[in-house]
Amino acid sequence: MKTLRNSALIFATKPSAITPQIEEFLKDRKAYFETTNNVQKALDFITTDSPCLVIFDTPTDDPKALDLCKKLKKLKEESRFNIYFLIDNNSNLEEQLNWFKNGVDEFGTRDTNSILICQRIRNILAKYEDSLIDVIPQKGIVIDSDRYLVYKNGKEIFLPRKEFELLQLLNSRPTKVFTRDEIFRHVWGNRSIVGDRTIDVHVRKIREKIGSNHIVTVKGVGYKFIG
What residue type is assigned to position 113 of the chain?
Answer: N
Q: Is 194 left (phi over 0), alpha (psi -120 to 50) or beta?
A: beta
As a residue count, the chain comes to 227
Just give the CATH number of 141-225. Answer: 1.10.10.10
The CATH superfamily of 4-132 is Response regulator (3.40.50.2300)
Q: pLDDT value at position 117?
A: 94
Alpha-carbon torsion 115, 120, 121, 127, what sign? positive
d(CA 78, CA 121): 22
The answer to whether the CB of 211 falls within 8 A of the CB of 226 is no
- How is the chain split into domains, by residue range? 4-132, 141-225
Helix (H/G/I), strand (E/B), else coil: 120 = helix
Q: pLDDT value at position 78?
A: 77
What are the 10-residue block averages of pLDDT along the chain, 227 residues in total?
Answer: 74 91 89 92 86 93 94 86 89 88 92 92 84 52 78 84 91 88 86 74 94 92 89
